[in-house]
Chain A
Amino acid sequence: MAKTELKTKAENKTQMVKIYIMGSMYEVPSSLTIMKAIEYAGFKLTRGSGCRAGFCGACATVYRKEGDFRIYTALACQTQVEEGMYLAQMPFVPANKAKYDMETLDPIVGTMLQYYPEVARCLSCNACSRVCPQEIQVMDYVQYSLQGQFDKAAAVSFDCVQCGLCAIRCPAEIPQYHVAMLARRLHGKHNMKAPETLEKRVKEIEDGEYEEGFKELMSLPKDKLRHKYYHERDFIDQKKA
């Protein structure tokens, strides 16, 4: 198919919508994500664009729609534009992260209150959960952290991309996403101990148990290695025809 033909096809299909970027109106194709629409409008992003796939939290966006009093939030790279969006990027959120030495911390509620005493100020208003673009029940994990139930706090907060919108909305001024980080690390370190097999393998490696095997494998000529790879490997965990 020729390029011109394709372009026509794409353009014929292009519906345009009006959006407002920091108050200024732009017309953009309706099929774009917010991030691509901002670029389409002519902005070269330095802030507010990181992984472009919904994992890094750089592109937190706050918006309102015409005729609707509510505030909406989104990750710009994961959300399609809509007619009449008033967009503001939130590429940075000021929120203090406590500094701590993991080696010295106990997985108890006192640790949480020592580093983030503000969790006790939670009003349970749930504004945090409502702005979370990952739809995490933020307030619930703050409450779990306050109750010292770090297993639950870790599980509920796990999908957090640390965009920080919760911390901006919080009337109690809690930096929720940092609280979650501490809760997860306490849980991951103390309540999810590695199995003994790991320690055993590390010791075997340190004792040089595999050195002979490596020496042999590494000195094999390529054809022998090829044969080993294609004909001698067994797949004990997987079904294969």
Chain B
Amino acid sequence: MIRGYPENMRKSIENVNKTRAKRLTETKADLTEAERKEVLNNYHPDYNPKFKRDLAWGPNKGDNIPNEVADVIEAYPVVNPDDIDLSKIDYDVGVLIIGAGGAGTSAALWALKKGVPADKILIATKLRLGDCNTVMAQGGIQAADRPEDSPLIHYLDVIGGGHFDNKPKLAKALVNDAPKIIKWHKELGMMYDQNPDGSFVENAGGGTSRNRMHCSKDYTGMEIFRVLKDEVINKEIPVVEFSPAVELLTDETGRIVGTILYNIETKQYFVVKAKVTIMTTGGFGRLHVAGFPTTNHYGATADGIVMAYRAGAKLRNLESTQFHPTGAAFPEQMLGLLITEKVRSLGGQVLGYDGEQICYPLEPRDVEASSLIKCCASTDNYVETPTGMRGVWLDSPLIEELKGKGSVEKNLSAMYRMMQRFDIDISKDPILVYPTLHYQNGGILHDENCYSSLKGLLAAGEISGGVHGKNRLMGNSLLEVNVFGRRAGITAAKEYKKKGVKSGKLSLDHVKKSVESLDALKMKEIRHSPMILPEYRSEAVRDRLVKLYEDSC
């Protein structure tokens, strides 16, 4: 090992160092529409039929979705409806929020702001308040607030990036609310990076035609979330931790009227009755779609999708998974962890074994990821690690040349620290990367006010579908959780104040019905869901590495 890299990788790093001066002024053309199509069709896991199947039952029967997602939807409930005593209500609340990430906390704060008393709100979460993907988002949050930018330009970037499959009203809400969100964050005291003249630091993102990525170093999500969390505690909004929801409750009209929580430490069930329920449980990274490692947090297992689907909620765009182009491919200990797109926003290029650029570094994520997979799968211009993992270089030292000495440590301090722990100095040496499972593009169908297809159920954040179409752009997920979290909170407050809304008897009848549908499928493999937490014990730790290599290369 020489400064963190084995000798054979060092050889390739020499190539990278040699070409750097030349690459300072070299720009690679972005792909044409036809070229994009080619690389996506051939190399993106979304477009590979072997990773997918048609969903066998329910409102979205026939949708072609990833096998791992179908596995948890085509699965029997973990709760036996007959075991739960629904006559004893443990929490009777106005607004129930399932999931305590960015969307859930924003929703709670806005419901409160719009008149729901704190003690009539309940946030329930699987792990801790803040064990979520929001804290892990690094690069930034988009908002078109510069004079040379506009929400309309942002809109076009979003729609095109999503392959014109976004729900237009949702895309409009996303971009149009963005400046408002930044304003709200500033009122709360968040520290977005600013230039000496007081203007925001705004970077480029993949697929954006203007620099509008607001950031807090590469801890943007963490800064946003810790402030929201601080505020939730200040406002004394009740939070139940280590208590994931395992099923929703319906009444005889099919309206969502609460949930069953399961305390994973005491192994007890709790019945929650709620006037409005907001689903903000996030995405499905921990299902390891197509065998990929993931950037997601420990609890990202699609539980919300499973529960809502059993209750009859319609889904959208679940066929589409986002693979982040740059997950760490080395060292082995960091495999699959996010190397923020901000590295490329700041000028970092993606290079093969020979030290030459592979493609324009800021393509939309699906295109960029597919280009990197192509390089590793169908050429020999890749770098191999001692454990057999393939990857390509992300030239972070180039940033020092472009933005000045010390800019890597200053702007990418999380990345710098993470690699430093393994003796790699990313201001001097490049980072080995390979695409990693990052984001669930689709999810619960909802409208711009977050109403799902079910009465009494709202959805916001990564769990929802339609905002990003088939591909999300960088910086639009931190934006999404805030925009739709806020909107869900406001809608929930409206619903909470509505007089004469009757909720009937709490029941799990929809769960029983789902069991009947599943029985009719006569599945060979009997599975149960929601998963709650993924299984990593014993050999599974090592096997994942092998599986990744097999499936993706």
Give chain A's interface residues, CB within 8 Å of chain B.
Answer: 1, 3, 6-7, 9-10, 13-14, 29, 31-33, 36, 39-40, 42-47, 49-56, 58, 78-80, 97, 99-102, 134-135, 154, 158-159, 161-162, 181, 184-190, 192-195, 197-199, 201-202, 205, 210, 213-214, 217-218, 222, 225-226, 228-230, 233-241
Supposing A10-B387, A228-B156 touch, asked if A189 and B298 sit within 8 A by C-beta, the answer is no
| Chain B residues whose CB sits within 8 angstroms of the CB of A230 once the complex forms | 32-33, 160
- Cα separation A10 to B28 with both chains bound (whole Å): 37
Taking A201-B144, A225-B159 as given, write out 7 further A-B residue pairs in contact, using a Cβ cutoff of 8 Å, ordered by the A residue number.
Answer: A44-B537, A188-B190, A192-B192, A213-B152, A217-B156, A233-B209, A240-B30
Q: Is the CB of B414 within 8 A of A55?
A: yes
Contact B145 A36 (CB under 8 A): no
CB of B222 within 8 A of CB of A184, answer no
Query: B169: nearest residue on chain A (CB-CB)?
Result: A218
B542 to A210, Cβ gap below 8 A?
Answer: no
Give every chain A residue within 8 A of B164 (Cβ-Cβ).
222, 225-226, 229
Q: Which of A7, A42, A217 contacts B155 (CB 8 A)?
A: A217
Point out the residues of chain B lying under 8 angstroms from A101, CB to CB. Answer: 234
Q: Which residue of the partner chain, among A1, A52, A235, contacts B297 with CB atoms under 8 Å?
A: A52
B residues 360-384 touching A (CB-CB < 8 Å): 360, 362
User: Are B29 and A240 in contact, CB atoms less than 8 angstroms apart?
Assistant: yes
With both beta carbons as reference points, the residue of chain B lying nearest to A194 in the complex is identified as: B186
Query: Given the known A-B contacts A7-B546, A52-B297, are A233 and B333 also in contact in the complex, defined by CB atoms under 8 Å?
Result: no
A52, A193, A199, A228: residue with the most chain B Cβ atoms closer than 10 Å: A52
Instruction: Name the residue of chain B whose CB is nearest to the CB of A100.
Output: B234
Known contacts A185-B227, A205-B151; A192/B194 CB under 8 A: yes
B130 to chain A: closest residue by CB: A56
Bound-state CA distance A237–B213 (Å) is 12
Shortest beta-carbon contacts, A-B, top 7: A185-B189, A229-B160, A189-B189, A188-B189, A50-B131, A188-B191, A241-B29
Complex Cα spacing A1 to B153, Å: 47
Q: What B residues does A159 contact at CB under 8 A?
A: 217, 219, 413-414, 417
Question: Which of B133, B168, B233, B414 contacts A97 (CB under 8 A)?
Answer: B233
Q: When chains A and B are docked, how far (Å) is the Cα of A36 from the Cα of B191? A: 34
Judging by beta carbons under 8 Å apart, are A134 and B168 in contact? no
| Chain B residues at the A interface, C-beta cutoff of 8 Å | 27-30, 32-33, 127-128, 130-133, 135-136, 144-148, 150-153, 155-157, 159-160, 164, 168-169, 172, 176, 179-180, 182-183, 186-192, 194, 198-200, 204, 209-211, 216-217, 219, 221-223, 226-227, 230-231, 233-234, 236, 242, 264-265, 295, 297-298, 332-333, 337-338, 360, 362, 386-388, 413-414, 417-418, 421-422, 533, 535-538, 540-542, 545-546, 549-550
Q: How far is the CA of A53 from the CA of B285 in the complex (A)?
A: 13
Complex Cα gap A202–B183 (Å): 8
Closest chain-A Cβ to B189's Cβ sits at a distance in Å of: 3
Contact among A29, A225, A241 with B542 in the assembled complex (CB-CB below 8 Å): A29
The smallest beta-carbon distance between A25 and chain B, in angstroms, is 16
Given contact pairs A46-B242, A162-B226, A197-B145, A237 touches B204 in the complex (Cβ within 8 A): yes
Chain B residues lying within 8 Å of A190, measured Cβ to Cβ, are 189
Closest to B182 in A: A198
Contact check, B242 vs A154: say whether CB atoms are below 8 A apart: no
Nearest chain B CB to A169 CB, angstrom units: 20
A201 adjacent to B298 (CB under 8 Å): no
Contact A185 B188 (CB under 8 A): yes
Once the chains bind, are B159 and A229 in contact (CB under 8 Å)?
yes
B residues within 8 A CB of A188?
A: 186, 188-191, 227
Q: Give the residues in chain A near B186, CB-CB below 8 Å.
A: 188-189, 192-194, 198
Of the residues B130, B182, B216, B417, contact of A134 by C-beta under 8 Å: B417
**A188–B221 alpha-carbon span in the complex (Å):** 15
Q: Known: A39-B537, A58-B128, A205-B179. Is A233-B156 also a contact (CB below 8 A)?
A: yes
Residue of B nearest to A54 (CB): B418
Q: Are B414 and A210 within 8 A (Cβ)?
A: no
Contact of B546 among A6, A193, A214 (CB under 8 A): A6
Known A45-B298, A158-B191: A55·B222 in contact at CB below 8 Å: yes
Contact of A237 among B210, B422, B550 (CB under 8 A): B210
**CA gap between A235 and B156 in the complex, in Å:** 13
Chain A residues with CB under 8 Å of B33's CB are 226, 230
- Closest B residue to A187 by beta carbon equals B191
Question: Which residues of chain B are within 8 angstroms of A79 by Cβ–Cβ distance?
Answer: 421
When the two chains form their complex, are residues A214 and B172 in contact, meaning their CB atoms are under 8 A apart?
A: yes
Residue from A9, A56, A226, A228 having most chain B Cβ neighbours under 10 A: A56
